[in-house]
Every structure is written in structure tokens, then in C-alpha cells.
């Protein structure tokens, strides 16, 4: 198998550093050229499943614009320009929860959409988390910090309470590694 080749790209729409749409000219492995392949550029992001020294899972109950009702969520956020994923994960954990953790495990980095881009999701498991600072989050949505037991986290995952795909995926990967 051979990869697709990008022959050209042009900006169709630029909104901000959070959203750009490009049109790519791509060549398929069989030589066929597609002149206007849509490509979405959004910042890479991190999601973190954090487990405290007592074994509790740090989660949020919150609202999101694209979700009906409330959802459970894990820690997460966009990488700042030039920031490496682990540093972003550690920063987001501290900002959003006031916790820091001594033990970090990378759970993988995944393209959000295999055909359209939309950034890379970097997943982490943080263990031994302890409160070390005040919450300093700049999130737009209301959120409530929860400490779930492992059975509660597993039941919430099974029940579909983590309503965004990255959150469900990182929780499933973290539970698999614990």
C-alpha cells in the first residue's frame, strides 16, 4: 500500500488559529488526481484520564455546545503553539483541576478524521494525582469536578455518559492500562 500525495494546497477559509479549511490537490496511489479535496485544520489537543493517589478518577460533568444535555468529560485542551503534548497535558491537568501527577503514560496519538484532518488527539494517563494548586481554568462551559470510583467510571463509559468520542476513547484506553 502507498500513501496519498499532496500536490498542492490552498486556503479556502481562515477563521482563526482554531479553524482553517483548505482545498488540497491529492494524488491517489493509482495515479488518479483529485483537484479539490477538503482538509480541516484545527489545533492538536490532549485528553487526560487522571487518577488520584486514592484511586479516584478526576472527571467533569459539563455542557458542550455540540452535546444535548450534560456529559461527563476528562481533562483536555489545545496545545499552545510550539508546546509538546506531555507539557500540554500536565498544564491542562493543573489548570482545570488544580491537581498534578508524578506518573504519566502516553496512550497514543490519533488523527481525528483520517480523510479530513481536524488535528491530532494525544491521550495520556496520569496516576498519583494530588491537589497542588487552585483551579485556573479558562473554559467557556460550566463544569463540576467529580471524583469517580473505577466502577463508576466503567459504568459511565458503558452507559455512554462520555458523549464525545475522544473522551470515551481515552477513558477506555486508560481503563485497559490500569
**Per-10-residue mean pLDDT for the chain, 178 residues long?**
95 96 97 96 97 98 93 96 97 97 98 95 98 84 91 98 97 98
Same domain, 75 and 130: yes
64 shares a domain with 18: no
3: helix, strand or coil: coil
Domain shared by 69 and 152, yes or no: yes
Same domain, 14 and 102: no
Statement to judge: residues 60 and 36 lie in one domain: no
Q: Which helix (H) or strand (E) holds 104?
A: strand 103-113
**Residue 137, pLDDT score:** 79
Q: What is the pLDDT of residue 135?
A: 87
9-45 pLDDT tens trace: 999 999 999 999 999 999 999 999 999 999 999 999 9
Q: What is the DSSP string of 27-66?
A: E-TTS-EEEEEEEEE---EEEEEEEETTSPEEEEEEE-TT
What is the pTM for the complete model shown? 0.94
Question: What's the structural domain count of the chain?
Answer: 2
Task: Give yes or no: residues 125 and 56 share one domain.
Answer: yes
Reported residue count of the chain is 178
Q: What are phi and psi of 33, to 5 degrees?
A: -110, 130
Domain housing 90: 45-177
82 shares its domain with 157: yes
- Is residue 167 located within the same domain as residue 95? yes
Task: Return d(Cα 51, Cα 165) in angstroms, integer.
Answer: 20
Map grid coordinates 482563526 to a residue. Answer: 16
On whether both 32 and 58 belong to a single domain, the answer is: no
Dist. CA 32–CA 30, nearest whole Å: 6
Amino acid at each position: 500500500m502507498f500513501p496519498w500525495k499532496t500536490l498542492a494546497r490552498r486556503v479556502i477559509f481562515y477563521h482563526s488559529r482554531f479553524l482553517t479549511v483548505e482545498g488540497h490537490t491529492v494524488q491517489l496511489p493509482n495515479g488518479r488526481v483529485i483537484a479539490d479535496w477538503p482538509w480541516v485544520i484545527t489545533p492538536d489537543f490532549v485528553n487526560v484520564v487522571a487518577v488520584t493517589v486514592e484511586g479516584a478518577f478526576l472527571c467533569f460533568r459539563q455542557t458542550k455546545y455540540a452535546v444535548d444535555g450534560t456529559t461527563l468529560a476528562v481533562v483536555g485542551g489545545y496545545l499552545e503553539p510550539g508546546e509538546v503534548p506531555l507539557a500540554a497535558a500536565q498544564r491542562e491537568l493543573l489548570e482545570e483541576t488544580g491537581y498534578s501527577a508524578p506518573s504519566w503514560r502516553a496512550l497514543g496519538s490519533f488523527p481525528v478524521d483520517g480523510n479530513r484532518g481536524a488535528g491530532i488527539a494525544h491521550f495520556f494517563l496520569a496516576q498519583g494525582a494530588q491537589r497542588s494548586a487552585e483551579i485556573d481554568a479558562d473554559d467557556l462551559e460550566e463544569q463540576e469536578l467529580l471524583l469517580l470510583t473505577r466502577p463508576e467510571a466503567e459504568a459511565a463509559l458503558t452507559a455512554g455518559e462520555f458523549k464525545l468520542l475522544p473522551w470515551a476513547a481515552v477513558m477506555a484506553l486508560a481503563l485497559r492500562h490500569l
